[in-house]
Amino acid sequence: MRGDLMRHAVPARPAEERIHDFCEVSLGYTDELALAEAARCLNCKNPLCMQGCPVGVHIPLFISKLRDGDPDAAAEVLLSDNNLPAVCGRVCPQENQCEKFCVRREKAGGSVAIGALERYVADHAAAKGIKVAAAERGDAKVAVVGTGPASLSCAADLARAGVRVVMFEALHKAGGVLVYGIPEFRLPKDIVAREVKKLCELGVDIRTNIVVGKTVLLDELLADYDAVFVGTGAGLPSFLHVKGENLSGVLSANEFLTRVNLMKAYSASSATPVSRSKNVAVVGAGNVAMDAARTARRLGAEVTLVYRRSRAEMPARAEEIEHAAEEGIKFELLTNPVEILGENGAVTGMRCVRMSLGEPDASGRRRPLPVEGSEFDIACDEVIVALGTTPNPILKRSFPELATTPKGTIVADENGKTSVKGLYAGGDSVTGAATVILAMGAGKRSARAILEELKKEGK
């Protein structure tokens, strides 16, 4: 098989080196690799890859510009569709989105590495200072609650259209899950800061340390602004609900990652250092579980990841699973915790049961069933629970007029319109925990709907 038909792997730092620091693992394409990979794109007349992109990036066009040796033009195409390409190129599950529909997927060499090319072009754009122009600012005002992916995307599109945007963030730093949830080794925080700075340059006013529903009420925002978008994400963690879960040493992945990522608790000079355990058990198998496991490994622990299904059903990105395995994370698959063990109020282990897989459940994955008499113990001094999240109930409690589902997610249509006039919502606060790119797509749709409504009202 000819070498140029094969997908070009993205260089990464050696596992034995990277487990000792929080520097980025993936090195990205060199100029030569990017051009070689771009040359693999068939530039299909019917670009199926675009069907898998929630923000509608014109994938064949930006790749063709790159292939023609014009990365500046490629950047202009990419930035016109995607407000956070450097982020998406690093953390989005392209194998389940754009690359899943690539015509080359079933051909020699596999799908074109669209995500890696997106990252390359986005980093080139940042280095060259390439930006998308914004319209002249008008009088319309929109409040955006939260500064995560959905909110950043919505705010950028509104600001580009000339809307005056004010964003409200509960934490002391903007970026939402991009700063508190995703580790530095996957998404360097200077990249997030760069994207936030671009928003500020568009005229967006970002106000931190403001909890909407407490510091300021939603009905106050609705009275003061022409529209309000809620993109507060899903930050309320789920737990196991087993005996021993209240022991010292049991914590949610949200708390663990927030302390490490946002508060730099891995640093010896941190004002709020995180405990460095010797043996850590992480429960779950999504991207958050992988992030928690790989972070604990960098803090010096031996890490066991416990998951009740098999590797085939693991929801995390394939790349993250591979990187975790390379870094020495042990996988205890077809295993489910039934009790957390402890002495003197602290964790000493976790009792588990072996599982077998039955028929598919509502998720489409095979249902895990306990194997009778298969209990065994895992020795550990810390348990990190990464079983998903739901929206924080503060907003709903302070504004009962807002319709929500039994799971606490906001009820909104495909354009983000909620049960309250002028109030839009999108991202994890509507769907529950999902991906960065899906949240961004929701933010863009809401921005479009808000602009249409403002136009109708003559604003």
Which domain CATH number covers 304?
A: 3.50.50.60
Please indicate, yes or no, if residue 300 is contained in any of the structural domains. yes
| pLDDT one digit per residue (tens) for the chain, 459 residues | 344 689 999 999 999 999 999 999 999 999 999 999 999 999 998 999 999 999 999 999 999 999 999 999 999 999 999 999 999 999 999 999 999 999 998 877 899 999 999 999 999 999 999 998 889 999 999 999 999 999 999 999 999 999 999 999 999 999 999 999 999 999 999 999 999 999 999 999 999 999 999 999 999 999 999 999 999 999 899 999 999 999 999 999 999 999 999 998 888 788 888 888 999 999 999 999 999 999 999 999 999 999 999 999 999 999 999 999 999 999 999 999 999 999 999 999 999 999 999 998 887 888 999 999 999 999 999 999 999 999 989 999 999 999 999 999 999 999 999 999 999 999 999 999 999 999 999 999 999 999 999 999 988
Strand ranges for 308-447 from DSSP E: 330-332, 335-343, 346-360, 366-370, 376-379, 382-385, 389-390, 423-425
Closest CA to 378 of 293, 279, 246, 253: 279
Do 295 and 280 lie in a common domain?
yes
Q: What does the angle CA 77 – CA 126 – CA 261 come to, to the nearest 5 degrees?
A: 115
Do 372 and 410 lie in a common domain?
no
Please indicate, yes or no, if residue 25 is contained in any of the structural domains. yes
Please indicate, yes or no, if residue 135 is contained in any of the structural domains. no
Do 383 and 396 lie in a common domain?
no
Do 279 and 346 lie in a common domain?
yes
Distance CA 258, CA 353 (A): 30
Per the structure, how many domains does the chain have?
3
Do 79 and 95 lie in a common domain?
yes
Do 278 and 350 lie in a common domain?
yes
Classify residue 251 by its DSSP letter.
E
Please indicate, yes or no, if residue 136 is contained in any of the structural domains. no
CB atoms within 10 A of CB 288: 28
Closest CA to 314 of 246, 368, 375: 368
Do 243 and 383 lie in a common domain?
yes
Question: Where is the domain boundary, 387, 403, 423?
Answer: 387
Do 49 and 178 lie in a common domain?
no
Strand partners, 230: 145, 425
Angle, helices 287-298/253-261, rounded to nearest 10 degrees: 50
Please indicate, yes or no, if residue 134 is contained in any of the structural domains. no
Do 257 and 375 lie in a common domain?
yes
Please indicate, yes or no, if residue 340 is contained in any of the structural domains. yes
CATH number at residue 54: 1.10.1060.10
Question: Where is the domain boundary, 368, 387, 406?
Answer: 387
Do 353 and 326 lie in a common domain?
yes
Please indicate, yes or no, if residue 33 is contained in any of the structural domains. yes
**Structural domain of 9:** 3-128
Question: Where is the domain boundary, 99, 128, 157?
Answer: 128
Do 270 and 358 lie in a common domain?
yes
Please indicate, yes or no, if residue 133 is contained in any of the structural domains. no
For the CA atoms of 300, 301, 306, 307, the dihedral, rounded to the nearest 10 degrees, stands at 0
Do 360 and 402 lie in a common domain?
no
